[in-house]
């Protein structure tokens, strides 16, 4: 069952990330995990709407869960050594997170398609993204899916500097920036938004506690 599979993936990956950084799940780390789970759920649904195979849908869900893993690495590094400099040049550092995440996952022998999706999840369809300024179909398909789901998840989430947008407003804002997205992916995403399943993707999420992350995981998200 889809719900159970995604829940299992989130718990396993969450547990593994917690161990990698040895952090309590009560802070920025928990917010990052919740954001990852939301992107994961939406990416799974959008991939299914695009008639991708179950294996590809699961790769999209995995990529969604770990897409910002480089940010966690970055914040740990910054907290220790670069706090002051980070304030001065935050954007430049922030833009390294796809590359950091890619390197971390490649090191752990994650599927190459998942790694590529992480590396290119901030590329825009019109070539204005980073790190490679890739254009259109040069951007890996999974990365194009993540781009749409990531922007949506960010818009409907609260940020320190603003309230969360409601879904309708989020969609309007995305339409204003639609040149950033693969239109086929964006249309599939809109069909998902109109379905009841999105309620599952959004509403089910709550902050996990440490106890819920019980498992070791390997590259396929299964128990070691
Ligand atoms: Fe990101």
Mean pLDDT of 106-130: 95
Cα of 224 from ligand 1 centre, angstroms: 28
Say what the pTM is.
Answer: 0.81
Neighbours of ion ligand 1 (CB under 5 A): 68
pLDDT of residue 184: 98
Backbone angles phi, psi at 159, to 5 degrees: -125, 160
User: Would you list the DSSP string of the chain?
Assistant: -HHHHHHHHHHHHHHHHHHHHT--SSSHHHHHHHHHHHHHHHHHHHHHHTT--HHHHHHHHHHHHHTTHHHHHHHHHIIIIIHHHHHHTHHHHHTTHHHHHHHHHHHTT--HHHHHHHHTTT--TTS--SSS---GGGS-HHHHHHHHHHHHHHHTS-BTTBPPPPHHHHHHHHHHTGGGS-HHHHHHHHHHHTSTHHHHHHHT--PPPGGG------TTS---
pLDDT of residue 95: 87
Which fold is adopted by the domain 2-205? Hypothetical protein af1432 (1.10.3210)
The answer on pLDDT for 223 being more than 50 is no
Question: What are the structural domain ranges in the chain?
Answer: 2-205
**Residue 104: band (very low, low, confident or very high) from pLDDT cuts 50, 70, 90:** confident
Cα of 94 from ligand 1 centre, angstroms: 8
Cα of 121 from ligand 1 centre, angstroms: 7
Cα of 154 from ligand 1 centre, angstroms: 10
Quick: pLDDT tens for 14-50: 666 666 555 554 566 677 778 898 999 999 999 999 9
pLDDT of residue 220: 39
Quick: pLDDT tens for 74-92: 666 656 555 555 554 666 6
């Amino acid at each position: 069952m889809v719900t159970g599979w995604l829940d299992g993936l989130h718990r396993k990956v969450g547990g593994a990330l917690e161990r990698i950084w040895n952090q309590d799940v009560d802070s920025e780390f928990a917010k990052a995990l919740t954001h990852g789970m939301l992107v994961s759920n939406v990416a799974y649904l959008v991939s299914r709407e695009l008639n991708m195979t179950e294996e590809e849908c699961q790769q999209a869900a995995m990529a969604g869960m770990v897409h910002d893993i480089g940010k966690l690495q970055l914040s740990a590094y910054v907290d220790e050594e670069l706090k002051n400099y980070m304030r001065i040049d935050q954007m430049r550092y922030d833009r390294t997170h796809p590359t950091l995440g890619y390197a971390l996952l490649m090191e752990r022998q994650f599927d190459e398609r998942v790694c590529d999706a992480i590396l290119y999840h901030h590329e825009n369809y019109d070539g204005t993204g980073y790190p490679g300024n890739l254009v259109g179909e040069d951007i890996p398909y999974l990365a194009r899916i993540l781009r749409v789901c990531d922007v949506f998840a960010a818009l409907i989430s609260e940020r320190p500097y603003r309230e969360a947008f409601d879904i309708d407003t989020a969609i309007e804002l995305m339409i204003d920036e639609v040149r950033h997205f693969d239109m086929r992916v964006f249309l599939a995403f809109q069909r998902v938004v109109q379905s009841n399943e999105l309620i599952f993707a959004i509403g089910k999420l709550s902050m996990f506690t440490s106890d819920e992350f019980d498992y070791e995981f390997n590259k396929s998200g299964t128990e070691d």
